Amino acid sequence: MGRGVQVGSYPVLYSFRRCPYAMRARLALAVSGQACELREVVLSCKPEALRQVSTKATVPVLIDTDGQVLHESLDIMLWALQRHDPLQWLPAQGEMADALFLIGRCDDEFKPQLDRYKYPGRFNLADRDEARDMGAGFIGELEQRLSRDRCLSGTQWGLVDAAVAPFVRQFAHTDSDWFASQPWPSLQAWLANFEASPLFQHVMAKHPPWQSGQAQALIFTEPAL
């Protein structure tokens, strides 16, 4: 158990509704049926309790009932799905390395371009087109995969889809008209299905910011995609 980590009856999830990393964690937790105390965080005013368990204090952070602290969204997804994976989101053993490789490319290559596209001013960029076009390279690859298989995880929605979709969604919403005009029919349909799904609606429910000592919302499983 981590020093000074308070544990309760349910794992605690520090989350921020619009954060794509937190979204992917909530998707896996919800589909695994894992009840958690959800603590909605305001990033500009992080709770002291979060800083105490995590020096980097990014979201999501999960604290298990035994005091184990997970600071990375992908670790939280794997933790939840390894406990219970009713829809078989986890890749088959021989496919795990490929799945993690694509998720890694999303995080390490695509996400930096997404940030530059969304916030060119923060990066002193004269315009956002170069970042958008670099991000579009990754999206084009996803389109090719999705034109062969219904989902990034194969025939069924799974770990890779849930890990990547929140980031593709942000990219799409940065300039919806431009995105809709691109030749990505399979990816556009895949994203629309995701956004319309009961599971996505469930994990996007609004919760007021958590304050120390306050009762927390519980998140539970929802119908499948």
Ligand X SMILES: N[C@@H](CCC(=O)N[C@@H](CS)C(=O)NCC(=O)O)C(=O)O
Give the footprint of ligand X on this chain (CB under 6 A): 16, 19, 21, 43, 58-60, 72-74
Residue among 31 and 103 whose Cβ is closer to ligand X: 103
Phi, psi of 30 (to 5 degrees): -65, -45
Min. distance of Cβ 126 from ligand X in angstroms? 25
Residue 181: HSE in the Cβ half-sphere, 13 Å Cα cutoff: 4
Residue among 116 and 188 whose Cβ is closer to ligand X: 116
* Cα distance between residue 152 and residue 160, in whole Å: 6
Residue among 106 and 142 whose Cβ is closer to ligand X: 106
Min. distance of Cβ 74 from ligand X in angstroms? 6
Min. distance of Cβ 189 from ligand X in angstroms? 26
Residue among 72 and 175 whose Cβ is closer to ligand X: 72
Strands (E), 34-179: 36-40, 61-63, 69-70
CA pseudo-torsion sign 197, 200, 203, 209? negative
CA pseudo-torsion sign 162, 146, 96, 170? negative
Min. distance of Cβ 120 from ligand X in angstroms? 18
